[in-house]
Amino acid sequence: MIYAIGDLHLSFSNNKPMKVFGNHWNKHYEKIKNDWEARVKEDDLVLIPGDISWAMKLEEARKDMEFISRLPGRKILIKGNHDYWWSSLNKVSTMYKDLEFIQNTSIIYNNIAICGTRGWTCPNKVKFTKDDEKLYLREVNRLEIALKSINQPIDKIYVMTHFPPTNELFEPSEFTKLYNEYNVDKVIYGHLHGKESFKMGLQGVRENVEYILVSCDYLNFKLKLIDG
């Protein structure tokens, strides 16, 4: 089985609340833990597409990583826009043996390639600065690097990205163009919080690619079954 859940926003070291997004975030980590332990087996895979911890430094994130490490299954994580503790891939990769971190790279699981990159805000009419454009194009390039890192025959390609793949109008982006070009099967992403924001996330199948929003509050703090 392959599951996914994003935007855990853990803060065991700095106790940063998420109540700004609603009271349903109260002790949200307990809801996640209860569902996770009830469903995930040791040989299952769980994808976590970013915004993992509110920690600012790697040492501050250790309690949050320990929480994830103690949960069953194999976990693959990518970086979100709030993961400031994630300073370099080499440093985070040595934290725990059962946590796998990917950044513009890929991992093979049961003949499925799992690729990952953070992504960025797509061009839109509300707010898209020169800095946004620079980061957007850089992340498009990193996505292609991740897709090109697949160096063996595989059955499927799943991409984890933190940011949504399009703007709020669901217009094609350089990200979606790459998904089509490389025959990606599924795109798993998060970043969006709140009912109004959820409406801005592309979901369902478009041009043979399935787009899946897995922000934990969108999932009511329960894992999403992706494959199996």
> Does the pLDDT at position 196 exceed 70?
yes
33-58 burial, b if ≥16 CB within 10 A, otherwise e?
A: bebbeebbeeebbbbbbbbbbbbeeb
| Strand 204-206 to 209-213 pairing | antiparallel
> Does the pLDDT at position 118 exceed 90?
yes
Q: Average pLDDT of 82-107?
A: 86
CB-count burial class (<10 Å; 0-12, 13-18, 19+) for 151? exposed
pLDDT cut 70: percent of the chain above it: 99
Output the pLDDT for position 20: 67
Q: Count of alpha carbons within 13 Å of 141, Cβ hemisphere only?
A: 6
Q: Average pLDDT of 68-86?
A: 94
Output the pLDDT for position 12: 84
Residue closest to 121 by CA, chosen among 85, 74, 78, 171: 171
Q: How many domains does the chain have?
A: 1
pLDDT cut 90: percent of the chain above it: 77
Among 22-26, 53-57, 79-83, the range scoring the smallest mean pLDDT is 22-26
Q: Average pLDDT of 139-162?
A: 96
> Does the pLDDT at position 15 exceed 80?
no
Output the pLDDT for position 24: 83
At residue 205 the predicted structure's pLDDT band, cuts being 50, 70 and 90, is very high
> Does the pLDDT at position 17 exceed 80?
no
The rounded mean pLDDT for the chain is 93
pTM recorded for the entire structure: 0.93
Residues spanned by the domain of 124: 2-227
Output the pLDDT for position 88: 79
CATH number assigned to the domain comprising residue 31 = 3.60.21.10
Give, to the nearest 10 degrees, the angle between helix 174-181 and helix 130-148.
10
Output the pLDDT for position 19: 67
CA distance 56 to 42: 30
Output the pLDDT for position 90: 77
